[in-house]
Structure 1
Amino acid sequence: MATDSGDGTTGKHVAGDARKRRPLWQETILLLVVALALAVVLKAFFVQAFYIPSASMEPGLIKNDRILVERVSTWGGGRPQRGDVVVFDDPGGWLPPSSAGPANPLARAMADIGIYPEGGHLVKRVIGVEGDVIHCCDDQGRIEVNGQALDEDSYVKDADVVECRGPQGPGDCEWTAGPVPEGHLFVMGDNRTNSEDSSAHMCNADADCNQSPYVPVDLVVGKVFVLIWPADRFGLLHRPATFEDVPDPS
């Protein structure tokens, strides 16, 4: 039989309330575990944080900018499209050893579970997908994809100054790449005079061809969709309209 505690509650209720309350330290640990679990799930399936490791994507993305990458567009066999800015693993020899990511053990552990911007990756813009032929350049210095010239003035650095839009390739402003192999991408940085991208890894007559300029789709982490830091430059990233005019490969 329950006894009255004198304040209108019974002994049974008091005991039950005591069992429901947890010490603050237990609640804190529980919240941390839940937060970490959510971070792991978000990283694995939805969103991951990265930072920009170099000047290769200027002027839109500057070194040490913080970005978010979404994985949803890759679900169900989805693949990056022309014009997307993507993050991908090093295909082999594209990154210097110093670009491995956070050196601080705590920051590295946080990066592993997705709550700190992660390094050791590259960020570039997709110019060509499988089957595409990319040519540099037409008589106005524009990159052509499947014969269609791209209007890149809105995102290429110093567009009104550089002679052409693809100077890293063999012969600087005169090269052709493709057809892009099945399951691969041709990528370029927006800072065309300072980007170790597909055009910079093409073979030429003066160098041995021991690497491929194409990035396997399987190495793509996801598409950059928002610049989150610094706060005064916060904004969403959109696929440039010029890529809508590119015809399918013949």
Structure 2
Amino acid sequence: MDTEAQPTERDRSSEPAPPGPEGRSRFALVSRIADWLPGGRITLTALVCLVFLLLLNTLVAQPFQIPSGSMEPGLRIGDRVLVNKLAYRFGAEPRRGDVVVFDGTGYFGDADYIKRVAGVGGDRVVCCDEEGRLRVNGRSVDESAFLHAGDRASTVPFDVVVPEGRLFVLGDHRSASSDSRDHLGSPGGGMIPVDDVIGRADWIVWPVGHLTRLDRPDVYARVPEAADAPARAPEASDAHARVPAPPTAHARVPGGSAAAGGAHG
């Protein structure tokens, strides 16, 4: 008697189908590439990971190292922040209070900078009110939560209206920051084009003990939109005294150059 079990139709249907011609050709291509590379599949895997990281760094997120104290106390010298490069890619634009990294070429210098957005297109930014605070669209902003201890909002007065498509940016350590105040008389008036913003700094990722999410301060949520703000006084000036710019240093990303992954202070 033939006692060998015969597969039923159900058994045959549950068996995995052999790879088709397209699958076999794909596997064959991978095998040929692996055979061609020194180190075989290990080298191929490393190259795929490297390409993935490069794409991630170029299109999604990029680390930047803080080179100076211009954003203290929140960002300290040597901190590494992770910049979200998709934050403003799909119709969203920088908002007041965001910490942004931007290309300062032609405006601040031939380098990348990191600052906090104090005013967006249409905003009137004034310093200072009767209590020495920044005023945006007629609303005083209490910056004590992030302003460096002992610093004033500004040591010189200014009164500007930010053009559409541009940003007015300031460092949190005002006495050690070269920012929009220092370039009011320069081309562009110290206002940074939104198109030159690389991304929004969302996290401090190094050192581990300083791991922090960089949230937008609540104080800016109470600032009215430019259309709802009081009319600008006709005697107000667009530019006043300039603040001396402190020396800054290039920032460097481990394994990279300052131009590729750094932000000035």
CA distances 1:160-194 after superposition (whole Å, capped 9, x unpaired): x33x3022xxxx1x2211x2111100000000111
Matches within 5 A, 1:87-102: 87-92=101-106, 94-95=108-109
Task: State whether structure 2 residue 153 is matched by structure 1 residue 165.
Answer: yes
User: 1:176 corresponds to which letter in structure 2?
Assistant: D
CA distance in 2, matches of 1:211, 1:70: 26
CA distance in 1, matches of 2:74, 2:139: 24
The aligned counterpart of 1:108 is none
Structure 1 residue aligned with 2:158, among 175, 183, 199?
A: 175
Q: Is the 8 A contact 1:91 1:215 kept in 2?
A: no
Structure 2 residue aligned with 1:149, among 134, 140, 146?
A: 140
Task: With the length of structure 1 as denominator, give the TM-score of the two structures.
Answer: 0.73
The aligned counterpart of 1:245 is 222
Task: State whether structure 2 residue 178 is matched by structure 1 residue 185.
Answer: no
Aligned-pair CA distance for 1:248: 0.5
Instruction: State the secondary structure of the residue aligned to 1:125.
Output: strand
Structure 2 residue aligned with 1:77, among 91, 102, 120?
A: 91
Task: State whether structure 2 residue 206 is matched by structure 1 residue 229.
Answer: yes
CA distance in 2, matches of 1:30, 1:52: 34
Root mean square deviation of aligned Cα: 2.1
Aligned-pair CA distance for 1:212: 2.2
CA distances 1:96-139 after superposition (whole Å, capped 9, x unpaired): x7xxxxxxxxxxxxxxxxxxxxxx31000000000001000111
User: 1:165 corresponds to which letter in structure 2?
Assistant: A
Cα distance change on mapping 1:201 and 1:43 into 2, 3 Å: same
User: 2:162 corresponds to which letter in structure 1?
Assistant: V
The aligned counterpart of 1:126 is 117
Task: State whether structure 2 residue 126 is matched by structure 1 residue 135.
Answer: yes
Q: Is the 8 A contact 2:125 2:135 kept in 1?
A: yes
Aligned-pair CA distance for 1:210: 4.8
Length, aligned pairs only: 195
Aligned-pair CA distance for 1:211: 5.3
User: 2:183 corresponds to which letter in structure 1?
Assistant: H
CA distance in 2, matches of 1:241, 1:93: 29
Unpaired stretches in structure 2, ≥5 consecutive residues: 1-29, 228-265
Instruction: State the secondary structure of the residue aligned to 1:25.
Output: coil
Instruction: State the secondary structure of the residue aligned to 1:68.
Output: strand
Unpaired stretches in structure 1, ≥5 consecutive residues: 1-18, 98-119, 204-208
Task: With the length of structure 2 as denominator, give the TM-score of the two structures.
Answer: 0.69
CA distance in 2, matches of 1:74, 1:210: 24
State the identity %: 38
Aligned-pair CA distance for 1:231: 1.2
CA distances 1:205-232 after superposition (whole Å, capped 9, x unpaired): xxxx555210011110000000011111
Instruction: State the secondary structure of the residue aligned to 2:87.
Output: helix
Instruction: State the secondary structure of the residue aligned to 1:244.
Output: helix
Q: Is the 8 A contact 1:91 1:216 kept in 2?
A: no
Cα distance change on mapping 1:228 and 1:216 into 2, 3 Å: same
Structure 2 residue aligned with 1:217, among 175, 181, 194?
A: 194
CA distance in 2, matches of 1:79, 1:211: 19
Aligned-pair CA distance for 1:34: 1.0
CA distance in 1, matches of 2:45, 2:187: 50
CA distance in 2, matches of 1:238, 1:191: 18
Aligned-pair CA distance for 1:93: 5.5
Instruction: State the secondary structure of the residue aligned to 2:176.
Output: coil
CA distance in 2, matches of 1:129, 1:212: 14
CA radius of gyration, larger in: 2
The aligned counterpart of 2:180 is 198
